């Protein structure tokens, strides 16, 4: 039997390839994060699984969670929030004071801070950043790009009627009165702006780097999208934070390293921090289980039990910072009658719904803001589940039962405060119909129809909610009730005035009292039925410690340690 | 042959223009727009309108399409509204990932499927034949998503033999001149990086290649049985030719014609993105990219991506057709 030389070579090559693959396969899975703690000289690496890649590492131009998470580690602002809470704390500003008329805010700055490029942080840098934001033009005024500037301050120096940005601005100007003192001037009194200064969007970049790496340079393409040509937000995001940028391979990894010259405390032991985008929930969990990552965010409720039961994993809950509610549009009769609104509140078994559909991560809401936020009132009027009482209220008010009303829910969506809208809806409809109502059921696709319909007052009852942007009641009840809106369909000057006064009150203690009063007023008036606050969850390997879940997701990795 | 190739390439142009128009119209009929997708419940009516106005979506469709076509001719596929980066840049980053995974999956499918189908045919109605038929049925029916999760659970989570996500260990740094990680590791002369890249390919390639393997095995088996019953094969055997020569020159070579067609078509499909596999393995290819784009109403990405895929499929089919001429000398293109 003869064998050709070519045949022997081919077989040998095939065997060699198979052996190589086998050798590679036996190498084992990835190691997620080096050991920490014990080996002092060994670099400690933390790998965190994120749901998506950042958009750009420039706080002024983003509104998505993953960009903000990354920017949080490298940039800082005047103030921050206490870890795990919403109380404003000093950061790059050591202290501050508002003028009597509330228009001027004087901030004293730290004098021992440098940017990652070695340039000094000072009052001029603060004003340079504020002026940059205020003078954004063209595509930069796109609401998707500068959502938070527009939410907090409103308009820009140049008004562009096509941009969608408001004409008026809360921001007047910035003045460096001393080397380490700035005065921010507002166009009208606002105390909510202080908490908003803790937002990642108002953190400071090195002015030298902004210019050198052409942060605002680019071109607008034929479709109106600004394409940055500068590299500030992609290769040189230079701030003052506890971590410094190392590299960013799109959709693969964002690498940061410990800032050895950091001015503040760095109690954690992380030397290298890597954010790894893993869009799919099950993939993030399996990566955690296999040790390829040390932690991840946005844990799905169906995974809570798996994580809690695994000795090598741990589940952490974020304090609730959202609210789910049944909205009531008083422009639709008979919702303009307080008796009907009260009856609806008494007819819905909120506790049963929260127990059934929130996997233990929900708590029943009594008002339109979460307990974590100052101004939360413990003594608002509550509406316990009592269908008999609901019937009584309606009959006393002269209604024939059942009372007819329409009720809408969104489809094709899951929100943190409403993971399964249809389930919530069906349970509520059953409660209402068993009591004293006849419901005309409506539904629409979340975008754009449902939200359009709600905004334009086309529904009577509707399911909706809100997740807070920053730690101020104005971002909750101010957003909902400070002015007349078609979604709510009412004009109540007492509530509007209460919220106006609370927003402009610069004395913090007085503000707290004022907001508590507003919450009582609102729950007496009952424009809607708040029913849930939910606690999103993060998962880590058991050897991770120090992570402080924050209601607004302001979570510094400088506090985190990995133990061997 | 040259004229044939040229004609086929020229025909591609009207195909792509027609397809771009259909896609353009279709995605603009989808409910929702980028305004809502970017801001969610924070989007007011004014901000939604402003975003869409800035993107030119308030202009007449004809104007929008003309602008788009003009850019397309210059190779500009527009920009992603989410990432604000040129679509072409993102394609060039992600397409190699999809190609690398697709090639690995097809190599797996062909390396196992062709010999399996051939041997099954040779041992017709034997144990191997019946087992391969049964296995093919399982392979075609088993959902990729579920198979991928099971493979990850067994080999990554429980045994720890293989990684569960990504293309490379996230702590490893190598240059990526081509974005084909295997090739990049070879260029860098880094054996450990090469092993790492190959290791990351194993599970996704098996998950993705299972269905093509099953199909390839079945087609090979059927084609081989068909050719083995031909007169010229019987004649060759009757002439006393070495059985291995008969198998190689007469049976296998002729049986490969339909097999090549199927392999080519499947490769073309795989090159346009294996959505489920890429999603489960966090593989940064074009499939998962397109799904995100549809969810975000990222029009430029959807349009650019589909036109690009169409070009890939057309090119793949052309390569398949040309390969016929080499497999069968009687086929001539003129």
- pLDDT tens, position by position, B185-229: 999 999 999 999 999 999 999 999 999 999 999 999 999 888 888
Give mean pLDDT, residues A123-130: 98
CA A320/CA A376 separation, integer angstroms: 13
What is the Cα–Cα distance from A330 to A490, expressed in whole angstroms?
6
CB-CB under 8 Å, A447 with B284: no
DSSP tag of A141 = G
- H or E stretch including B212? helix B191-228
Using DSSP, state whether A19 is helix, strand or coil: helix
Alpha carbon A302 to chain centroid distance? Answer: 22
pLDDT at position B129 is 86
In terms of C-beta density within 10 A (0-12 exposed, 13-18 middle, 19 or more buried), how is residue A399 classed? middle
Residues from chain A contacting residue B169 (CB–CB below 8 Å): 30-31
Write out the DSSP string of A272-318.
EEEEEE--SHHHHHHHHHTTS-SEES---GGGHHHHHH-TTEEEEEP
- Cβ distance A449 to B31 less than 8 Å, yes or no, reads yes
- A448-473 CB burial, b ≥16 within 10 A, e <16: bbbbebbbebbbbbbbbbbbbbbbbb
For residue A166, give the nearest of A177, A179, A153 by alpha carbon. A153
Residue B64 has what pLDDT? Answer: 79
Cβ–Cβ gap B280/A290 under 8 Å: no
Q: How confident is the model at residue A27 (pLDDT cuts 50, 70, 90)?
A: very low
Test B78 with A225 for CB contact under 8 angstroms.
yes
Tokens standing for A456?
Answer: 């334009």
SS3 state at A186: strand
Mapped onto helix, strand or coil, the DSSP state of residue A94 is strand
Contact B38 A144 (CB under 8 A): yes
Which residues lie closer than 8 Å to B248 by C-beta, 6 or more apart?
A: none
Q: Which residues of A touch B33 (CB under 8 A)?
A: 447-448
Chain A residues touching B36 at Cβ < 8 A: 447-448, 451
Q: How many CB atoms are located within 10 Å of the residue A97 CB?
A: 10
CB-CB neighbours of B301 under 10 Å: 27
Quick check: A26 and B161 CB within 8 A?
yes
The whole-angstrom separation of Cα B41 and Cα A448 is 10
> What is the dihedral angle through the alpha carbons of B303, B309, B313, B315, rounded to the nearest 10 degrees?
100
CB contact under 8 A, A448 and B33: yes
User: Quick check: B29 pLDDT over 80?
Assistant: no
Give me the torsion for CA of B181, B185, B191, B197, rounded to 10°. -10
pLDDT in tens, A473-512: 999 999 999 999 999 999 999 999 999 999 888 888 999 9
The residue in chain B having the minimum alpha-carbon distance to the alpha carbon of residue A28 is B161
d(CA A515, CA A507): 12
* pLDDT score recorded for residue A32: 43
Nearest to B84 among A56, A165, A292 (CB): A56
- B288 and A CB contact within 8 Å: yes
Amino acid A126: pLDDT: 98
pLDDT tens digits for range A145-176: 788 999 899 999 999 887 778 889 999 999 99
Residue bearing the bigger pLDDT, A558 or B257: A558
pTM of the model: 0.85
The partner residues of A47 in beta bridges, in order of sequence, read A274
Chain A residue with the nearest C-alpha to that of B80:
A225
ipTM score of complex: 0.84
Closest residue to B160, CB basis, from A29, A144, A252: A29
Alpha-carbon distance of A57 to A68, in angstroms, equals: 8
Model pLDDT for residues B56-74, shown as the tens digit of each residue: 777 787 787 887 777 777 7
With contact defined as beta carbons under 8 Å apart, do A443 and A454 qualify? no
Contact B104, B201 (CB under 8 A): yes
B66 touches chain A (CB under 8 A): no
Give the HSE-up count for residue A474: Cα atoms under 13 Å, Cβ half-sphere: 20
Instruction: Say whether the peptide bond before residue A334 is cis (omega within 30 degrees of 0).
Output: yes
Return the closest-CA partner of residue A182 out of A255, A130, A118, A248. Answer: A130
B312 vs B46, more confident: B312
Closest CA–CA distance from residue A369 to any residue of chain B (Å): 17
Phi, psi of A27, rounded to the nearest 5 degrees: -70, -15
Q: Which two tokens stand for residue A137?
A: 């033009």
Q: For residue A163, give the chain B residue with the closest CA.
A: B50
Using pLDDT thresholds of 50, 70 and 90, give the confidence band for residue B103: very high
Q: Does residue A159 sit in helix, strand or coil?
A: coil
Indicate the Cα dihedral angle A345, A348, A354, A358, nearest 10°.
-110
Give me the mean pLDDT over the A75-82 stretch: 96
Q: Who has greater pLDDT, B78 or A175? A: A175
The mean pLDDT value for A444-473 works out to 89
Percent of chain A with pLDDT over 70: 92
Q: Considering only the beta carbons, identify the residue of B90, B170, B279 that sits closest to A279.
A: B279
Nearest CA in chain A to B49: A164
Give the residue-averaged pLDDT of A22-35: 42
In A, minimum Cα distance to B70 occurs at: A222
Pull the structure tokens for residue A546.
Answer: 């120090």
Q: Which residue has the tokens 């730290």?
A: A110
CB–CB of B53 and A253 under 8 A?
Answer: no
B86: nearest CB among A20, A29, A227: A227
- Is the Cβ–Cβ distance between A153 and A170 less than 8 Å? yes
Mean pLDDT across the stretch A19-41? 43
Average pLDDT for chain A: 90
Looking at the complex, does the CB of residue B43 fall below 8 Å from at least one CB of chain A? yes
């Amino acid at each position: 039997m003869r064998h050709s030389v070519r045949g022997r070579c081919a077989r040998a090559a095939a065997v060699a390839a198979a052996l190589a693959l086998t050798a590679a396969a036996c190498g084992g899975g990835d190691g997620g994060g080096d050991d920490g703690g014990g080996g002092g000289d060994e670099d400690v690496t933390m790998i965190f699984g994120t749901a998506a890649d950042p958009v750009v590492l420039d706080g002024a131009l983003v509104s998505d969670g993953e960009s903000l998470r990354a920017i949080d580690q490298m940039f800082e602002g005047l103030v921050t929030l206490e870890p795990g809470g919403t109380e404003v704390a000093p950061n790059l500003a050591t202290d501050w004071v508002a003028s009597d008329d509330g228009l001027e805010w004087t901030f004293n700055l730290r004098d021992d801070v440098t940017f990652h490029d070695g340039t000094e942080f000072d009052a001029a840098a603060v004003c340079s950043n504020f002026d940059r934001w205020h003078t954004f033009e063209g595509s930069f005024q796109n609401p998707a790009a500068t959502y938070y500037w527009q939410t907090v301050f409103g308009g820009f120096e140049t008004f562009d009627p096509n941009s969608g940005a408001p004409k008026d601005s809360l921001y007047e100007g910035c003045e460096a009165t001393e080397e380490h003192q700035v005065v921010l001037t507002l166009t009208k009194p606002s105390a909510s702006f202080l908490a908003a200064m803790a937002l990642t969007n108002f953190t400071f970049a090195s002015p030298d780097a902004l210019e050198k790496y052409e942060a605002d340079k680019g071109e607008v393409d034929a479709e109106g999208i600004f394409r940055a040509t500068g590299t500030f937000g992609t290769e040189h995001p230079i701030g003052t934070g506890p971590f410094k940028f190392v590299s960013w391979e799109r959709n693969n990894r964002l690498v940061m390293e410990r800032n050895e010259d950091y001015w503040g405390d760095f109690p954690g032991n992380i030397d290298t921090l890597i954010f790894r985008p893993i869009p799919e929930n099950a993939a993030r969990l399996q990566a955690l289980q296999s040790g390829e990552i040390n932690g991840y965010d946005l844990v799905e409720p169906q995974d809570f039990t798996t994580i809690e039961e695994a000795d090598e994993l741990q589940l952490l809950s974020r304090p609730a910072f959202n609210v789910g509610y049944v909205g009531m549009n008083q422009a639709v009769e008979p919702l303009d009658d307080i008796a009907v609104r009260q009856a609806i509140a008494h007819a819905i078994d909120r506790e049963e719904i929260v127990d059934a559909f929130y996997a233990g991560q929900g708590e029943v809401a009594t008002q339109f803001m979460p307990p974590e936020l100052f101004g939360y009132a413990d003594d608002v009027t509550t509406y316990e589940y009592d269908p008999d009482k609901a019937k009584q209220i309606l009959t006393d008010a002269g209604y024939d039962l059942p009372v007819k009303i329409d009720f809408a829910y969104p489809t094709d969506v899951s929100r943190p405060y409403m993971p399964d809208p249809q389930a919530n809806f069906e349970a509520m409809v059953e409660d209402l119909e068993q009591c004293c109502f006849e419901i005309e059921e409506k539904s629409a696709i979340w975008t754009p129809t449902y939200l359009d319909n709600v905004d334009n007052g086309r529904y009577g009852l509707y399911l909706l909610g809100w997740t807070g942007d920053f730690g101020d009641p104005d971002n909750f009840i101010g957003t909902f009730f400070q002015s007349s809106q078609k979604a709510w369909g009412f004009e109540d000057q007492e509530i509007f005035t209460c919220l106006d006064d609370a927003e402009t009150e610069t004395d913090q203690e007085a503000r707290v009292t004022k907001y508590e009063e507003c919450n009582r007023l609102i729950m007496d008036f009952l424009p809607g039925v708040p029913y849930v606050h939910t606690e999103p969850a993060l998962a880590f390997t058991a050897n991770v410690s120090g992570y402080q879940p924050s209601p607004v997701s302001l979570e510094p990795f400088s506090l985190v340690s990995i133990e061997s | 042959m040259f004229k044939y190739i040229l004609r086929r390439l020229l025909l591609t142009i009207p195909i792509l223009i027609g397809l771009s128009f259909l896609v353009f119209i279709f995605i603009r009929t989808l409910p929702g727009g980028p305004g809502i997708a970017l801001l969610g419940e924070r989007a007011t009516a004014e901000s939604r309108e402003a975003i869409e106005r800035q993107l030119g979506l308030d202009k007449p469709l004809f104007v929008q399409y003309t602008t788009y076509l003009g850019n397309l001719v210059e190779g500009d596929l527009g920009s992603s509204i989410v990432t604000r980066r040129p679509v072409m840049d993102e394609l060039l980053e992600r397409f190699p990932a999809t190609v690398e995974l697709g090639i690995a999956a097809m190599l797996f499918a062909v390396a196992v499927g062709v010999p399996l189908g051939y041997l099954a045919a040779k041992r017709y109605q034997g144990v191997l034949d019946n087992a391969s038929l049964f296995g093919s049925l399982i392979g075609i029916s088993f959902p990729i998503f579920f198979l991928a999760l099971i493979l990850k659970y067994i080999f990554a989570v429980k045994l720890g033999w293989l990684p569960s996500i990504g293309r490379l260990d996230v702590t490893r740094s190598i240059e990526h001149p081509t974005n084909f990680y295997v090739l990049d590791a070879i260029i860098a002369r880094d054996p450990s990086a090469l092993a790492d890249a190959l290791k990351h390919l194993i599970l996704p390639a098996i998950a993705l290649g299972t269905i093509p393997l099953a199909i390839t095995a079945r087609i090979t088996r059927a084609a081989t049985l068909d050719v083995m019953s031909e007169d010229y094969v019987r004649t060759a055997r009757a002439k006393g030719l070495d059985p291995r020569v008969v198998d190689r020159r007469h049976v296998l070579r002729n049986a490969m014609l339909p097999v090549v067609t199927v392999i080519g078509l499947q490769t073309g499909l795989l090159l346009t993105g294996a959505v489920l596999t890429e999603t489960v393995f966090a593989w940064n290819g074009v499939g998962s990219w397109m799904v995100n784009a549809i969810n975000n109403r990222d029009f430029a990405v959807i349009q650019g991506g589909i036109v690009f895929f169409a070009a890939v499929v057309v090119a793949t089919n052309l390569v398949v057709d040309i390969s016929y001429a080499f497999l069968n000398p009687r086929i001539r293109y003129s």
